[in-house]
Amino acid sequence: MPVTVVVLAAGQGKRMHSALPKVLQPLAGRPLLAHVLEAARKLEPAAIHIVYGHGGDTVKAAFADQPDLRWALQSEQLGTGHAVMQAMPSIPDDHQVLVLLGDVPLVRTRTLQRLVNDSVEGELALLTAVADDPSGYGRVIRDERGEVARIVEEKDATDDERRVNEVNTGVIAFGAAELRRCLASLDNDNAQGEYYLTDVIAMSAQRGIKVHGIVVDSATEVLGINDRAQLALAERTLQRQIAQDLMSRGVAFADPERVDVRGTLTVGRDVFIDVGAVFEGTVELGDNVKIGPYAVIADSKLGAGTLVHPHSVMTGIVAGPNCEIGPFARLRPGADLGSKVKVGNFVEIKKSAVADGSKINHLSYVGDATIGRDVNVGAGTITCNYDGANKHHTTIGDRVFVGSGVMLVAPVSLGEGATIGAGSTITKDAPAGELTLERSKQATVPGWQRPKKKSPRS
């Protein structure tokens, strides 16, 4: 039976105190809604409907690159039942409907598959959780046979019902035809004045339809995100899961509780990651890569044996095998390092290729440049690539030695084996194999006196 997923994502999230819609709040570098969609897509559904409301244009824009999504507007927030109604007109009767919540991001695909499997014969499957503190949740009321009879929202519950600690998660699977009949009979005669999706539970049970109450293995899997504290809890929970998965693939952590992966991290063998490291976007680490404390690496690929020292920042770079980077290095998009390249402390590289064995050890800026093999770039060297309007290229041949404090005013080329004297400002091409330097005549002014500050009384 085809499955159609309906994701409820119309909530405002007032307790977030944010201009950003709740389902766009970031979790491990992606919106909450993106995590829900990832789990849903693994079921290979026939369609995914997003019911949106608050911040609707912003939410749609965030997922504009996903044309398979279908959008249904809930212009007034009149309850979860009313939200599902907005998506039902385009769902065929012979489909199963799986209702998910856009602010419940940790639910796993295998759990959703259990719901789908249990509702395949026209029955209803409801995901529940056992909570230490059920306050704020709808209670799952079972009959004398232990089967789910109804859901009672907390504001409508009796004192005895409030003592029940099995709660509704809001995740439900149901045949579309029966769900449509139940939704048509909903009313809003309750303390909230809303159309509750949970009321279909009692309707179905009264019609003799079996309701499967599937208790989730861990309540954290169905944690709903309503405020910053819950978002932080979900972040740590997800990061812990990611770290466990990486350790199962051989990664060693100095402390798995102090790492953040905000995207996809692919690893080789014997990788070591120290405390405070942050990985964003798509990052690939080869065998024996070692990441030092508080490094930030985004959308980059590091070759086998590369060592990253503390506090280095990399975005959109490629490093070959056995490179050494940092500490306090900044590699910007387009930095392409060969093998055994050394980039030292307080060095910035942008949109430049640095070939095998070259070294840029201290306090230098390299931008829009091509650097050959076995080049040594001295401390304080700058490629002056920007003239105020346009960027210009610097080319440095193999085995060039650039002294300290050199300004290379692009466009400029240094031939193979050239030596550039310290303190030079190079504005013309330097020939291969020769020493090129530029020095103003040093002068001393006899008897010169340093200015003194005037006395406050004068």
The total of other beta-carbon atoms located within 10 Å of residue 94's CB is 10
Distance CA 264, CA 279 (A): 8
Distance CA 120, CA 174 (A): 8
Helix (H, G, I), strand (E, B) or coil at 50: strand
User: Chunked in runs of 10, what are the mean pLDDT values of the chain (458 residues)?
Assistant: 94 89 95 97 97 89 95 91 94 95 96 90 88 88 88 90 92 93 89 87 87 90 93 96 97 97 97 98 98 98 98 98 98 98 98 98 98 98 96 98 98 98 97 95 92 78
Distance CA 446, CA 409 (A): 34
Distance CA 97, CA 79 (A): 18
pLDDT given for residue 166 in this prediction: 94
Distance CA 265, CA 286 (A): 11
Catalytic residues: 362
Match 């002014």 to its residue by tokens: 445
pLDDT given for residue 50 in this prediction: 97
pLDDT given for residue 147 in this prediction: 86
Distance CA 95, CA 5 (A): 10
Strands (E), 53-138: 69-73, 96-101, 124-130
Q: Whose CA is closest to 238, among 50, 32, 99, 43?
A: 32
Structure tokens at 44: 């290979």
3-state secondary structure 143-178: CCCCCEEEEECHHHCCHHHHCCCEEEEEEEEEEHHH
The widest CA-to-CA distance across the chain, in whole angstroms, is 108
Domain 3-222 bears CATH identifier 3.40.640.10? no
What are the residue ranges spanned by the domains of the chain?
3-222, 228-436
Distance CA 98, CA 194 (A): 21
The CATH homologous superfamily to which domain 228-436 belongs is Hexapeptide repeat proteins (2.160.10.10)
pLDDT given for residue 458 in this prediction: 57
Structure tokens at 364: 């230098």
Cis amide leading into 327 (omega within 30): yes
Distance CA 123, CA 176 (A): 11
**Ramachandran angles phi, psi of 311, nearest 5°:** 65, 25
The pTM of this model reads 0.89
Q: Are 385 and 391 in contact (CB under 8 A)?
A: yes
The total of other beta-carbon atoms located within 10 Å of residue 257's CB is 10
